[in-house]
C-alpha cells in the first residue's frame, strides 16, 4: 500500500466540519442515549413544510415528474423565481439569469467555483455563516474577515470595508438578515456598500435566505436594487429552506448577470445535474401559493425571540443583542472568561459551550467558528418550553462558576 497515493486530497486539509451540524449531531447522539439535552443548535425551522407545498410534490410524483430536468432547473421554477424577485424585491430578472440548485449552500459553492481564482481575496463581514470561509478556501480563495461591532448592531462600517480592499479583492459576501447575529443592514449601509463595490469593481454575493424571517417592521432590501451598476456586480442568493420550512427539500437559487448564470449552469451540468425534479415543483407552489404559513411561523419566532433575548439578558455575564431577523440569538459571554468550573478556567467560547453541555446538558454553538470569539449562537427554532427550560439551565450553570 502506498500511503502517499492513497491519502485524501490536499484541498480538504483547509476546511473543517460544519460546527453547527456537529453540535446538532452531538446533541442528537446524547439524546439517543437517553440524556435529557436541550438543543439550541438547529439551523432549521421546527415547523412542518406547509401542506399545499407537500401536495404539489405528491402531484408531481403522481404525474410521473421523476426524470432529469434541465441541469440549471425547470423553466417553471425559474419563472416563479423571476416573478418573486420582481414582486418582492423590485428586481427584473429573466429566467436565463437564474440558476436553481440543491439549496442556497450549493448556489454559493457554484458561485465560488465560477468566479474565484487561486489567491483571490473575499471579504466576509464577521460574524459570518460558517460555510462562507470554507467554501472560499476550497476553491483556493483567501477569506478576509471584516469585523463588525455588537455595540453598533453588527452594522458594517463602509470605511472599514474600504480599508480591507486590496488589488486582490474579488468579492464581498453579504448576509442580511445574518446568521448568526440576526442583524439586518439598513438601506443606508447597503447604499454605501454598493457605491464602494461599484467604485472598486468587486462582486457582491448577497445571501438573502432569511429575508422573510424579520421582526419589528424590519424590511429586507436587496443590495441589487440600488441601481444597474451594483446589480450587474451582484449575485443574489436565496432559497425556500428557511421561509417555507423546506430544509430537507434542497432547493436554492441564484440570480445574476447572464454570463455568470450560464457558467454556473454549465458547472452544475457536470457536477450534480438538476436539483430533484419534484422538489422543484414543490418550490413553485411555495413561491406562488398562499403565504399565510410564513406569517404564522414568523409570528411564533417573534414571541420566542422576545423571551430568549430578555431572559438571556437577565443572566449575569451574558449580553444579548436584540436581532431583527433570522432565528438565532448571539449573546456575548466573554464576561465569563477567567471564571472556573471544577478547577478548569473558561477562556474560549468553545470551552463555555462544552461547559454548558457537560454541566447542564444544554447544546449551544460557540462563536469562534462564526468569526466572533466571546459569543455563543443559540437557535430559537425550538419550542417555547425548551427555550424557557434551556435558559433556566444556563442561568443555573453560571451560578456553578467560581
Ligand atoms: C446564511 C445561510 N445561507 C445559506 C444557508 C443554506 O441554506 P440551504 O438550506 O438553502 O442550503 C444557510 C443555512 O443554514 C444559512 O444560514
Rounded Cα gap, residues 195 and 201, in angstroms? 10
Whether 135 is in the pocket of ligand 1, judged by its Cβ within 6 Å, is no
Whether 98 is covered by a domain: the verdict is yes
Inter-residue contact 231 to 93 (CB < 8 Å): no
**Could you identify the atom of ligand 1 that is nearest to the CA of residue 129?**
1
pLDDT score for 4:
81
Per-residue pLDDT tens over the stretch 283-308: 999 999 999 999 999 999 999 999 99
C-alpha cell at 96: 436565463
| φ/ψ (deg, to 5) at 294 | -65, -45
pLDDT score for 3:
65
Answer yes or no: pTM beyond 0.75: yes
Domain match, 35 and 167 both: no
Ligand 1 probe mutation, 44, 131, 275, 283, most atoms within 8 A of CB:
131
| Overall number of domains in the chain | 2
Q: Which of 236, 261, 288 is the last residue of a domain?
A: 288
Domain match, 187 and 40 both: no
Nearest to 171 by CA among 199, 137, 143: 143
Domain match, 130 and 150 both: yes
Whether 60 is covered by a domain: the verdict is no
Domain match, 172 and 214 both: yes
Per-residue pLDDT tens over the stretch 195-241: 999 999 999 999 999 999 999 999 999 999 999 999 999 999 999 99
pLDDT score for 202:
98
Domain match, 282 and 304 both: no
Q: Which of 271, 288, 305 is the last residue of a domain?
A: 288
Confidence of residue 42 (pLDDT cuts 50, 70, 90): confident
Instruction: Assess whether pLDDT exceeds 70 at residue 140.
Output: yes
Confidence of residue 253 (pLDDT cuts 50, 70, 90): very high
Q: Which of 245, 272, 288 is the last residue of a domain?
A: 288
| φ/ψ (deg, to 5) at 245 | 50, 55
**Could you identify the atom of ligand 1 that is nearest to the CA of residue 106?**
11
- CATH number at 389 reads 3.90.1150.10
Whether 55 is covered by a domain: the verdict is no
Inter-residue contact 255 to 38 (CB < 8 Å): no
Domain match, 177 and 261 both: yes
Instruction: Assess whether pLDDT exceeds 90 at residue 20.
Output: no
Domain match, 111 and 256 both: yes
- CATH number at 202 reads 3.40.640.10
Whether 275 is in the pocket of ligand 1, judged by its Cβ within 6 Å, is no
Whether 85 is covered by a domain: the verdict is yes
Whether 177 is in the pocket of ligand 1, judged by its Cβ within 6 Å, is no
104 C-alpha to ligand 1 centroid (Å)? 6
109 C-alpha to ligand 1 centroid (Å)? 11
Domain match, 111 and 222 both: yes
Confidence of residue 1 (pLDDT cuts 50, 70, 90): low
**Could you identify the atom of ligand 1 that is nearest to the CA of residue 107?**
11
For 2-16, 135-149, 290-304, 387-401, which range has the lowest pLDDT when averaged over its residues? 2-16
Query: What residue numbers bound the domain in which 318 lies?
Result: 3-48+293-399
Whether 239 is in the pocket of ligand 1, judged by its Cβ within 6 Å, is yes
Nearest to 44 by CA among 244, 289, 207, 291: 244
Amino acid at each position: 500500500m502506498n500511503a502517499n497515493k492513497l491519502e485524501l486530497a490536499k484541498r480538504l486539509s483547509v476546511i473543517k466540519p460544519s460546527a453547527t451540524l456537529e453540535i446538532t449531531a452531538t446533541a442528537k447522539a446524547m439524546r439517543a442515549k437517553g440524556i435529557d439535552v436541550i438543543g439550541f443548535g438547529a439551523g432549521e425551522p421546527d415547523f412542518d413544510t406547509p401542506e399545499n407545498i407537500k401536495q404539489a410534490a405528491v402531484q408531481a410524483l403522481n404525474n410521473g415528474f421523476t426524470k432529469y430536468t434541465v441541469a440549471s432547473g425547470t423553466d417553471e421554477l425559474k419563472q416563479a423565481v423571476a416573478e418573486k424577485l420582481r414582486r418582492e424585491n423590485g428586481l427584473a430578472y429573466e429566467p436565463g439569469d437564474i440558476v436553481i440548485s440543491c439549496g442556497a449552500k450549493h448556489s454559493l459553492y457554484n458561485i465560488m467555483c465560477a468566479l474565484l481564482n487561486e489567491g483571490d481575496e473575499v471579504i466576509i463581514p464577521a460574524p459570518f455563516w460558517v460555510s462562507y470561509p470554507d467554501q472560499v478556501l476550497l476553491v483556493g480563495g483567501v477569506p478576509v474577515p471584516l469585523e463588525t461591532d455588537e455595540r453598533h448592531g453588527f452594522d458594517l462600517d463602509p470605511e472599514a470595508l474600504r480599508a480591507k480592499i486590496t488589488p486582490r479583492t474579488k468579492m464581498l459576501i453579504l448576509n442580511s438578515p445574518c446568521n448568526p447575529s440576526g442583524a439586518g443592514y439598513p438601506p443606508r449601509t447597503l447604499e454605501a456598500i454598493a457605491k464602494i463595490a461599484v467604485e472598486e469593481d468587486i462582486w457582491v454575493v448577497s445571501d438573502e435566505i432569511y429575508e422573510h424571517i424579520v421582526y419589528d417592521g424590519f424590511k429586507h432590501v436587496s443590495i441589487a436594487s440600488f441601481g444597474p451598476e451594483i446589480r450587474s456586480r451582484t449575485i443574489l442568493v436565496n432559497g425556500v429552506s428557511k421561509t417555507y420550512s423546506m430544509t430537507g427539500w434542497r432547493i436554492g437559487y441564484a440570480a445574476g448577470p447572464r454570463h455568470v448564470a450560464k457558467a454556473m449552469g454549465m458547472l452544475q451540468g457536470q457536477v450534480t445535474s438538476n436539483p430533484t425534479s419534484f422538489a422543484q415543483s414543490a418550490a413553485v407552489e411555495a413561491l406562488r401559493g398562499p403565504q399565510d404559513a410564513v406569517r404564522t411561523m414568523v409570528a411564533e419566532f417573534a414571541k420566542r425571540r422576545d423571551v430568549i433575548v430578555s431572559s438571556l439578558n437577565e443572566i449575569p455575564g451574558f449580553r444579548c443583542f436584540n436581532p431583527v431577523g433570522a432565528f438565532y440569538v448571539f449573546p456575548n459571554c466573554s464576561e465569563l472568561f477567567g471564571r472556573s468550573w471544577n478547577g478548569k478556567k473558561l477562556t474560549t467560547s468553545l470551552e463555555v459551550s462544552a461547559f454548558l453541555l457537560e454541566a447542564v446538558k444544554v447544546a449551544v454553538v460557540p462563536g469562534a467558528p462564526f468569526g466572533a470569539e466571546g459569543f455563543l449562537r443559540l437557535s430559537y427554532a425550538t419550542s417555547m418550553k425548551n427555550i424557557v427550560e434551556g435558559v433556566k439551565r444556563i442561568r443555573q450553570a453560571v451560578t456553578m462558576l467560581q
